[in-house]
A and B are shown apart, each in its own frame.
Chain A
Amino acid sequence: MSAAVLALDRVSYRYPKATQPALDAVTLEIGEGELVLLAGLSASGKTTLLGLASGVVPHFHGGRFEGDASVCGRDLRDAGPAQLAEHVGTLFQDPETQVLMSTVRAELAFPLENAGHDATAVARGVEEVALALGIEALLDRATENLSGGELQRVALAASLAARPRLLVLDEPTSQLDPVAGDELLSLLRRLNEEWGTTILLAEHRLERCLGAADRVIVLEGGAVVCDAPPPDFLAWAHDAAPALETPGASLIAGLGLHPPPAGVKAARATLAANDLLPPAAPPSFATAPRPSRRARRHAPLPALRFSRVWHELPGGRAILAAVSLDVAPGELVALLGRNGAGKSTLLRHAATLLKPTRGTVTATGRVALLLQNPGAYLIHDQVGDELPRAALEAAGLGQLISRHPRELSGGERQRLALAIVGADDAAVICLDEPTRGMDRQAKADLAAELRSRAAAGAAVIVATHDPEFAASFATRAVLMGDGRVIADAPPPQILAGGWYFATETARILGGHAGALTADQGVAALTTVTAAAPAA
């Protein structure tokens, strides 16, 4: 118990005015130098457990606390977040509320100054943490000019500046694109391996970090339901919690193989050991051929058409550069690309929130746009006040009318926001990054919802960073870069051959047969094995 960085013994916690406990008799220990992944569906207690590790629970939030907890040898009843700050670094989800100062240098100096270090020690600490995290070029930048990825790195550096023994992170990649997210995760790995920092990380996209974890702790209803190394966790998840199973593990389990892989490399090794690893497909950068002029002339009118659309800032920088795109009724389009590629701007043009500086946007009917934060649509104290009862019933939210919008789950909020923007009778439905912070189950529900709306005739276009989600719903993928459409093709052509914009199954199978999901992978490999004896 004494060597544990975090030790909880029958800890229960209830937020003020809450009827249910957020943590229920949790007992666990996290040892020095461990990298522990915290998994579970939304509202399972992950954030509360992380809050406990940093002291904000119960000291900042209040509430009822039972049991014994110690963090870095200090009893949590005596030590609050300020006292634990020297030992525990904390990184929350939203980078915008985690950067307090106006320059990066001041931000990194802030925790060191709070710890009472003199100017020389502060300057040295700032320099070292900036170099360690590769943000030395940002030191004199104004924090208000940083991108989301840069802000999150700066926040991570600030939480590490005091050289904490324990680093707790609450879905730190949920606001980042795959490139920035992977960079952050590899940084964490390096911190853990090279400096021995103990890491407690909550993350929905388990496939991105499972390979680096020593242990996975699963919470359900505030209680620990699994605490095991990654392969054992995956074996448990296959039977007990399929929503937590990674696509790679689903693929291997679907083929009847063992052990469940914690990452792409392990999955490939398992396939290779069973002579199932397909030869690497040559990289394909093909896109769908542009239809002939005659075919275009006779094609049905698209639900949404961008004709050489430009969006130029007063300084001359082009956010969109001659984008031409047709989206047909019933089509499901995934709009992919890194941060700043122009995806959100394109959707704003579709909904006429912006006016092109050149080119035209035409739609056959109303365009419903759901922006990134569904919370911005929920402005009343009761769900019933947001929309007429008939509209709520039609959206399947009739039973929630007396609830406060904040009490809804991520999926329910998303459905309510979709109803508010009038997706029910829209010819075109646009969604901007709808899966931020969503667990796998909520994403699957959203994908089903989008498919049903497309089946009813709506054109659906979704900007997303999440290749797994794109593969689950899209019939067409459009990859944007620097304000231009750089690839436009069926999802297998784009998501099976990419490095960053590729699903885990595609990376395991090297793009074989265009398989993107575990089910498609199983089908493709089963075909291979079935055909092998005949050959």
Chain B
Amino acid sequence: MSYQRRASPLHAARATVGAAYCGALILAAILTRHPLILAAIGLAVTLAALSAGAGRRVLRSLRYSIPMALLVAIVNALVSRNGLTVLARFGYFGPFGQVDPTLEALCYGAVLGLELCVIVAACALMSAAVDPDELLRSLRRVSFRSALTATLATRMVPLLALDSRRFAEAQRTRAHGASRAAVMRAITANALDRALDVAATLEVRGYAAARRPPRARRPRSRHDLAFAAAATALAALAITAAATAIAPFTFYPTLHGSFGSRQLALAGALILIAVAPHLQRRGIER
């Protein structure tokens, strides 16, 4: 929800195309478990974010996703019973039962964590570089009720974040502490009130009687075409790679995957396709 208009090729593309481009990067990350390919997609997202002036934003998202990724890796190593290369024998350990972490489980968890980081980074890129209002407007043409829900949700996120900060601050100034459960209940009740206020505003702005918006006759720019082509190519390549198992990687019972020329070529192609539309900087202010 931190979209800011900037001078970049991704910002210059229409919102639906920008969203499709980020969606293709997310799809590519979901369809592979090969660490090299995931790293390549991660690099592509980073380069795209830098080109769109959203590097800081994507970096900030990693502050939350990296601890989560580490947690996934550790928990998987502790709870998974798969893998043959035992790293240590901790014996019987409370709720986890017999804990014998294996290299394979640790690697699988780490790759899942990497995938999480890449997906979160791509989402952060989308939220920073794709105009949500334009996207919702386009969505309204397709599905009115979904757009209404999305509009409410879009507005509620920053509003509730603000309210939560206010509640937290208020609790710090109480003479006597309050139970967390009571505070959470109050925040939830407040969220419902706020949702009602936002819904009332939507009503008085005529959203409930909105007609299907006329199609905006906006000529396709070279950025629209470039990012649409990149999104299509990324999705096609990712699906083909998954279907034909160009970059297979198995974790159990032992780690098995290749890092040969085909995988390197796939990684290079994904990066190249993702970065190519950002190179069209003619007319973009510096």
Is B206 within 8 A of A369, CB to CB?
no
Is B216 within 8 A of A82, CB to CB?
no
Query: Any chain B CB within 8 A of the CB of A409?
Result: no
Q: Contact check: which of A106, A142, A159, A375 meets B204 at CB < 8 Å?
A: A159
Measured between beta carbons, the chain A residues less than 8 angstroms from B151 are 100
Give the most central of A102, A118, A158: most B CB within 10 Å: A102
Is B183 within 8 A of A102, CB to CB?
no
Measured between beta carbons, the chain B residues less than 8 angstroms from A142 are 2-4
Query: Any chain B CB within 8 A of the CB of A378?
Result: yes
With A97-B159, A97-B198 in contact, is A370–B203 under 8 Å at CB? Answer: no
Is A371 within 8 A of B3, CB to CB?
no
Contact string, A76-93, partner B, CB cutoff 8 A, digits 1/0? 000011110110101010
Dominant secondary structure of chain B at its interface with chain A? helix
Measured between beta carbons, the chain B residues less than 8 angstroms from A116 are 210-211, 213-214
Is A353 within 8 A of B169, CB to CB?
yes
Contact string, A220-261, partner B, CB cutoff 8 A, digits 1/0? 000000000000000000000000000000000000000000
Alpha-carbon distance between A81 and B159 when the two chains are bound, in angstroms: 23
Alpha-carbon distance between A351 and B182 when the two chains are bound, in angstroms: 23
Among B201-247, those with CB < 8 Å from A are 201-211, 213-214, 216-218
Query: Any chain B CB within 8 A of the CB of A285?
Result: no
Alpha-carbon distance between A144 and B156 when the two chains are bound, in angstroms: 12
Is B173 within 8 A of A119, CB to CB?
no
Measured between beta carbons, the chain B residues less than 8 angstroms from A86 are 206
Among B87-136, those with CB < 8 Å from A are 131-134
Alpha-carbon distance between A376 and B217 when the two chains are bound, in angstroms: 47
Query: Any chain B CB within 8 A of the CB of A162?
Result: yes
Stretch of A107-115, A188-196, A459-467, A521-529 at the chain-chain interface: A107-115
Measured between beta carbons, the chain A residues less than 8 angstroms from B167 are 376
Measured between beta carbons, the chain A residues less than 8 angstroms from B256 are none
Is A92 within 8 A of B197, CB to CB?
yes
Measured between beta carbons, the chain A residues less than 8 angstroms from B206 are 81-82, 85-86, 111, 114-115, 162
**Closest CB of chain B to A372's CB: distance in Å?**
8
Is B203 within 8 A of A56, CB to CB?
yes
Query: Any chain A CB within 8 A of the CB of B63?
Result: no
Is B216 within 8 A of A140, CB to CB?
no
Q: Contact check: which of B131, B137, B201, B217 meets A98 at CB < 8 Å?
A: B201
Is B154 within 8 A of A158, CB to CB?
no
Alpha-carbon distance between A80 and B203 when the two chains are bound, in angstroms: 9
Is A82 within 8 A of B207, CB to CB?
yes
Contact string, B156-183, partner A, CB cutoff 8 A, digits 1/0? 0011001100110110111110100011
**Interface contact tally, CB-CB below 8 A:** 143
Alpha-carbon distance between A119 and B218 when the two chains are bound, in angstroms: 10
Measured between beta carbons, the chain A residues less than 8 angstroms from B2 are 142, 144
Is A380 within 8 A of B182, CB to CB?
yes
With A353-B173, A379-B178, A421-B174 in contact, is A102–B201 under 8 Å at CB? Answer: no
Alpha-carbon distance between A82 and B205 when the two chains are bound, in angstroms: 7
Measured between beta carbons, the chain A residues less than 8 angstroms from B155 are 99-100
**Closest CB of chain A to B153's CB: distance in Å?**
11
In this complex, the interface size class of chain A, counting residues with CB under 8 Å from chain B, is 35 or more
Query: Any chain B CB within 8 A of the CB of A94?
Result: yes
Contact string, A353-396, partner B, CB cutoff 8 A, digits 1/0? 10000000000001011110101111110000000000000000
**Closest CB of chain A to B266's CB: distance in Å?**
36
Alpha-carbon distance between A162 and B5 when the two chains are bound, in angstroms: 26
Q: Contact check: which of A59, A102, A373 meets B133 at CB < 8 Å?
A: A102
Query: Any chain A CB within 8 A of the CB of B190?
Result: yes
Is A113 within 8 A of B213, CB to CB?
yes
**Closest CB of chain A to B201's CB: distance in Å?**
5
Query: Any chain A CB within 8 A of the CB of B186?
Result: yes
Q: Contact check: which of A113, A140, A376 meets B137 at CB < 8 Å?
A: A113
**Closest CB of chain A to B162's CB: distance in Å?**
7
With A144-B158, A353-B172 in contact, is A97–B203 under 8 Å at CB? Answer: no
Query: Any chain B CB within 8 A of the CB of A103?
Result: yes
Measured between beta carbons, the chain A residues less than 8 angstroms from B211 are 114-116
Alpha-carbon distance between A371 and B210 when the two chains are bound, in angstroms: 39
In the complex, the chain B residue whose C-beta lies closest to that of A161 is: B205
**Closest CB of chain B to A15's CB: distance in Å?**
13
Measured between beta carbons, the chain A residues less than 8 angstroms from B200 are 56, 60, 81, 92, 97
Query: Any chain A CB within 8 A of the CB of B57?
Result: no
With A56-B203, A103-B133, A114-B207 in contact, is A370–B173 under 8 Å at CB? Answer: yes
Q: Contact check: which of B134, B154, B159, B207 meets A96 at CB < 8 Å?
A: B159
With A102-B131, A116-B210 in contact, is A420–B174 under 8 Å at CB? Answer: yes
In the complex, the chain B residue whose C-beta lies closest to that of A377 is: B170
Query: Any chain A CB within 8 A of the CB of B56?
Result: no
Measured between beta carbons, the chain B residues less than 8 angstroms from A437 are none
Alpha-carbon distance between A92 and B199 when the two chains are bound, in angstroms: 12
Is A378 within 8 A of B202, CB to CB?
no
In the complex, the chain A residue whose C-beta lies closest to that of B165 is: A376
Query: Any chain B CB within 8 A of the CB of A517?
Result: no
Contact string, A406-430, partner B, CB cutoff 8 A, digits 1/0? 0000000000000011100000000
Is B202 within 8 A of A100, CB to CB?
yes
Is B209 within 8 A of A371, CB to CB?
no
**Closest CB of chain B to A387's CB: distance in Å?**
8
Alpha-carbon distance between A380 and B182 when the two chains are bound, in angstroms: 7
Is A81 within 8 A of B208, CB to CB?
yes
Query: Any chain B CB within 8 A of the CB of A272?
Result: no
In the complex, the chain B residue whose C-beta lies closest to that of A96 is: B159
Is B204 within 8 A of A81, CB to CB?
yes
Is A371 within 8 A of B205, CB to CB?
no
**Closest CB of chain A to B56's CB: distance in Å?**
13
28 A-B contacts (beta carbon < 8 Å)? A55-B203, A56-B203, A56-B204, A81-B206, A88-B204, A90-B204, A92-B200, A92-B201, A96-B162, A97-B194, A97-B200, A98-B201, A102-B132, A103-B133, A106-B134, A113-B210, A113-B213, A114-B206, A114-B210, A115-B210, A119-B214, A353-B173, A373-B170, A378-B186, A379-B183, A421-B173, A421-B175, A422-B174
Identify the 3 closest CB pairs spanning chains A and B, nearest first. Answer: A422-B175, A85-B206, A82-B209
Besides the known contacts A98-B201, A110-B205, 8 further A-B residue pairs in the complex with CB atoms under 8 A apart = A55-B203, A101-B133, A106-B131, A113-B213, A114-B205, A114-B207, A140-B5, A371-B173
